[in-house]
Structure 1
């Protein structure tokens, strides 16, 4: 039977309407969805077969139409595509997705199945993205819970996937709609500001366009100049990440210049910079170094008339088509004809994402790779031979080493960036040249596995390090794991915490299994702080409450609820300075209210023996945003800039220092820094102590008892 030629979309919709006429409300919903999805796919310059399949699959998925009916009318190719889209439609991510967390195991498996479905024909993922966009458009009158779930799914899965595939035409609208439902107040405020300033902005941009058009014409550069659409979520992200007011965001005033060739792009850039002063540090050359999704353009920011900053993009028509459509710009290469390298790179990338990695730990490692490969921005570093290496944003020289070869990563001892030595935690920037210095023997560090220390941004690299430790001698891992545990408990002030209890909290049968898991990198010492935190008060909330004038008012930065007593002043004991979620008790003083101690504080135990009637039950209440005082000490070999490095690290963690004292030992060339800080909880304290230990010359960082 000869293959039938797919009908145009109008004919497809007429045929579909006739078949669904008797299906009532279900048929009407299928028709609305079919029209919306197929129209969106058609705007991506898709071929007729996939447009027809996009219109037909909602009815087949809802059992209003059979595959045989589709094949009889439209042929085998359209029927096959419709089948694949039905499978994709039925592979939904189950359950509620945390707005600020990762996917669970079942959700990660659903995502894997979705990607496996589309890897054979990338056109399918375009239809899935178009379907998600249409779903978001129809949510205006839906319940808030449904809006937020769909918006969260869009923000953490579909918008990043559209970005990675370079389909900005869908990406921007997906992001804006998700923002609209997740942050409605911020969305409405920015949208209102854009509307109110629209006339003035258009007048201003019109003057700039006239000026640039005149100067480009003088230089012999033929160009089309237009204003660039403003995307609300993009504006919000820039306001948040750079702490800017609405008027300070460069994207609000933006111009696009379209020219005929790459040479004209650079010629136009010269004219722009010769006409308007450019802002230093705001130029990006994505033509010489395209983004991972193959996006190409020149970006610059300049000071326009009246001292107003504006952003300018310069690109060719081909670059513009790819920027808007991504892989959809390469439909014509999919069936038969000439293969296109850009299109092939997308398929290779999707297949690589699904490849198993040595010693993959299952769904957790798969999801980590997905987030690293799809949901994060990328940077591009260069080897001494000129090879470009693609790394996740925040990538380090150690990530670079593992990308080159696993053995080079294991033997990495140091690195040079642009000819100068840098620490292995150095954050690489686009275009930097990296040279890796190696030793003779493989010797990874367990610290590399702790994300908060910043050695590795790539999940693939961490899997390789974890694999290396798993292959080491079990007795060595047992011994090293026990040392690591005891050091962490000492650092947190929990030397006497039972190892058996901790093993149970971490879901190990025996302490020995826990030691081995710590030693081989299966878990990190940061899990210890989390387990202790859960054990102290599993269901408690954090903050303090109860003051005479205002029952919910703050005491310093926190509040305590005192049980069985009327409103009393409360304060923290200087001897132990408890932080959530440690178990606490109060001591009723004479004239100073209740002093709150850690449950195991030596001073409290002595008071309990002498005056048990004054010891009260107290508990934490409120939110994690409250802060509590803690004393820490840092021991180090003395050097210039030590105090500056310590205080800079604490500022980076957004921790306030309320006291600082230093002392030095000239004989041994050591220094001790004692700090009073405000901390939100035990997990934050653990992370800060680990980061302090990683500073140059630091011997130890621990909490003072």
Structure 2
């Protein structure tokens, strides 16, 4: 563990103007606050934040980041407060510590709601200041280094999986490859211990038996460069055990079939020498076709720049070589952190965090936890391709991306107006998969709108979130229109026959909604019945109505013959039986008797043998029937259908769109009806409507 003076000396070595007293105060503060707390290793707990601060000094980060690293666990694990931190160390440190504290428990495999909320906090804190992420990555790296001290195997595997799925990809996305590789290695050891032991064992054998071959190849490359007048440094290494295992899994091959185990790195003075070096290699040894990658002219989205090639050394050995400048090497290994060096201040490099802006858009557009996690993982974890606009602007997209993804990458408005595309000058469908280097032109129309079917043809989280948001907004507008029509009908039944804006505003507040539109949506989706709306508009108005007028909420009186008096029962949700259907009962432990239609598909599996022969009693009047309606995708069709329901005195209990494309929209509707004859008349009326392509009972 770093001693207090050692930590201060490290910071002062690259930042002579750093506040030594402040650094000492932060060191003492974390030691005092964590007190006698112990880690699983038995070490004092404060050794952890001190080591995290040490990792930050290796990256030459600014004073506030070092202090944040020292204090990052105090608010969560001790009696310290953010207010106290701000008073002692200033508002910037307090903000950073608060940000890291919010990121303390991102669990990719936990309940989706909690995982999504933690991820939401993580991304928002990152977007405000990326130093929060740098501290959190160092925190996780040090925890992984001491993971073996935790006795519970399940806990070790959970932390390792979390590291593999969340933190290592984030380290890669900000270009911190050293952190990423070590996280992968330590997580791989816990998640696949047998594979880890086998691969590391084989690598040790190769190392012991190579007879200095790696050094010999590095020397040969260096000599070829020197003879051509290129100054360089060359070194070689075995590939990372996790990357070897990943390649074995992807190719379905054994270790012996992986031929390019060795990788070499060539560092030169400038970019011109990078291209001279690649020419020297390709003229000295045989290049493997299709394995040359130029990340200097087209860098990765995290700022990574390098030339990659694979070649045959001495007729049999395949080796991989990476060529880069010294400056590029520093950025490649430490990525975003290299831009946060103390002398460069705190200006976040724009080119490296464009993907983060996309993530913030995903936050705004995601509807629920599952959607947020899906879209965020898409934005963080996928391999990339490069595509161009006709004017030459470069966009990086995941493999498998389509023109829809490209359009949303250019601008959200362009995605919403897309109707077609040209790839390399040729008209193609929007679902066409893009290839590396494609020139993409989006054909747009101001009258167009995103379609739900596009979700099957796009892979970026940004595009999927925007499409879902647009479709939901369109559905909401249609439902609000229906609700407004129903609202007008409700108002007509009030004693006064009309209401003013003030009464509507008061009703919205009484019912707990934020706007008129929210109220109309609630009415359109049957979250409110007529009586509730009337009472909210004119308190006491429903008391004056005679009972028969209290439409459309029907009193449901259900009695079933064949049950013991007092026996609990409920109508099954799978088949929605209504009076007039032939019915049977199924005994369910703890829930009484489920009443099913005799034609219910759930009864056909033969698993439930304890059936009761039932029939409807004399007082059976009113149940919920479910319909599936396929409507033409035209303005006003949904309003026509709800008019049919109203005309047949059927109350909508639930209305949900289940599918939508360019031509049709499919809805499932739950209706309160009197009996089978009533439901049948409604189905017949729907089938006779020119707004309905198909109507069936479910």
Please, what TM-score do these two structures have when normalized by structure 2? 0.60
Q: Does 1:262 align with 2:271?
A: yes
Alignment of 1:451-462 (within 5 A): 455-462=457-464
* In 2: Cα distance, 1:209 partner to 1:62 partner: 49
Is contact 1:415–1:436 with CA below 8 Å preserved after alignment? yes
Q: Does 1:418 align with 2:424?
A: yes
Match among 6, 12, 32 for residue 47 of structure 2: 32
Match among 463, 466, 474 for residue 464 of structure 1: 466
Q: Report the equivalent of 1:84.
A: 96
Q: Report the equivalent of 2:182.
A: 173
Match among 196, 213, 219 for residue 222 of structure 2: 213
Name stretches of at least 5 consecutive residues in structure 2 with no aligned partner.
1-16, 480-521, 527-572, 576-601, 610-698
Q: Structure 1's 50 and 449: CA in aligned 2 closer, same or farther, altered over 3 A?
A: closer
Number of residues of Structure 1 aligned to a counterpart in Structure 2: 482
Is contact 2:303–2:351 with CA below 8 Å preserved after alignment? no
Q: Report the equivalent of 1:546.
A: none
* In 2: Cα distance, 1:23 partner to 1:302 partner: 57
Alignment of 1:623-634 (within 5 A): none
Q: Does 1:293 align with 2:308?
A: no
Larger CA deviation: 79-88 vs 108-117: 79-88
* In 2: Cα distance, 1:416 partner to 1:21 partner: 61
Q: Report the equivalent of 1:233.
A: 242
Q: Does 1:253 align with 2:262?
A: yes
* In 2: Cα distance, 1:439 partner to 1:83 partner: 45
Q: CA shift at 1:393, angstroms?
A: 2.7
Alignment of 1:13-162 (within 5 A): 15=28, 19=32, 23=36, 25=38, 28-59=43-74, 61-63=76-78, 76-77=89-90, 80-81=92-93, 84-85=96-97, 87-89=99-101, 91-93=103-105, 97-98=108-109, 104-142=112-150, 143-162=152-171
Q: Report the equivalent of 1:391.
A: 397
Q: CA shift at 1:260, angstroms?
A: 0.5
3-state SS of 2:148 partner: coil
Q: Structure 1's 273 and 59: CA in aligned 2 closer, same or farther, altered over 3 A?
A: same
* In 2: Cα distance, 1:277 partner to 1:56 partner: 54
Q: Does 1:379 align with 2:388?
A: no
Q: CA shift at 1:135, angstroms?
A: 1.2
Q: Structure 1's 582 and 50: CA in aligned 2 closer, same or farther, altered over 3 A?
A: farther
Is contact 2:96–2:131 with CA below 8 Å preserved after alignment? no
Question: Could you give the per-residue CA deviations for residues 210-259 of structure 1, whole angstroms, max 9, x where no partner exists?
Answer: 22112111211111001146322212112212233324435521000000
Is contact 2:359–2:462 with CA below 8 Å preserved after alignment? no
* In 2: Cα distance, 1:329 partner to 1:198 partner: 32
Question: Could you give the per-residue CA deviations for residues 9-52 of structure 1, whole angstroms, max 9, x where no partner exists?
Answer: 99679746974796364795322212321222222222344224
Q: CA shift at 1:181, angstroms?
A: 1.3
3-state SS of 1:30 partner: coil
Is contact 1:301–1:310 with CA below 8 Å preserved after alignment? yes
Q: Report the equivalent of 2:195.
A: 186
Q: CA shift at 1:106, angstroms?
A: 1.9
Q: CA shift at 1:372, angstroms?
A: 2.3
* In 2: Cα distance, 1:468 partner to 1:119 partner: 24
Q: CA shift at 1:80, angstroms?
A: 4.4
Is contact 1:358–1:467 with CA below 8 Å preserved after alignment? no
* In 1: Cα distance, 2:34 partner to 2:476 partner: 69
Match among 263, 283, 298 for residue 292 of structure 2: 283
Q: Report the equivalent of 1:400.
A: 406
Is contact 1:172–1:231 with CA below 8 Å preserved after alignment? yes
3-state SS of 1:374 partner: helix
* In 1: Cα distance, 2:354 partner to 2:312 partner: 42
* In 1: Cα distance, 2:295 partner to 2:574 partner: 51
Q: CA RMSD in A?
A: 4.2
Q: Structure 1's 583 and 6: CA in aligned 2 closer, same or farther, altered over 3 A?
A: farther
* In 2: Cα distance, 1:390 partner to 1:210 partner: 37
Q: Structure 1's 470 and 302: CA in aligned 2 closer, same or farther, altered over 3 A?
A: same
